[in-house]
Structure 1
């Protein structure tokens, strides 16, 4: 028969072994918890950094869009002015051609009149030469 003290001693030894295992597990759990806290703090810092960087990106992006919008507004205004300048130049060129055409027509008419007068004079000279 087994001795009740032996059974109690075996149970006590088993409890001590189990207690030592539980302490080891508890120690590992505590270490894991501490590591998890370190990781969580790192993640919090990373999230804070990302939030700051996204805010800076938004600010920069908004500034870039506003600058681009202003540049496009300036380009449109320059384009309007250039179109107006081209229209004015076209009108001035057309008016200049019309004016030159009028002067050339007047000069041609004057030359035709001179040619007609010369022809008349030559014909008179020829008639006078024939009568003499």
Structure 2
């Protein structure tokens, strides 16, 4: 796991504070991806650090999706899936790196590892939270 891999650990002490720190760090990261996920429940969005390993683990953890579209901060498409199989990825170097981690997950030779991927609802709640002290008014 590299230094830019954010892991969701829901049972840690101080979970709320840890999640807040992880979210703040994630939002400052230049390499954030937005995952637009379409499944039987409808549509949802998540943010996560866009390392090839994180992309593979995010996709691999969702074998029942209909489609995932990953976009960068400017909403430019980075990768599309049909189900949890990659359909399109214009960046062929990224594609090869993602496949290196994703194919073993798809072949049941490895398990998808948890990554920190807050929903857009969590992100909005974090950004809209009341803040105290030390800020200019």
- Given the two structures, how large is their TM-score scaled by the length of structure 1? 0.14
- Given the two structures, how large is their TM-score scaled by the length of structure 2? 0.14
Greater percentage in strand: 2
Q: Which has the higher contact order (CA 8 A, sep 6+)?
A: 2
Greater percentage in helix: 1
Larger radius of gyration: 1
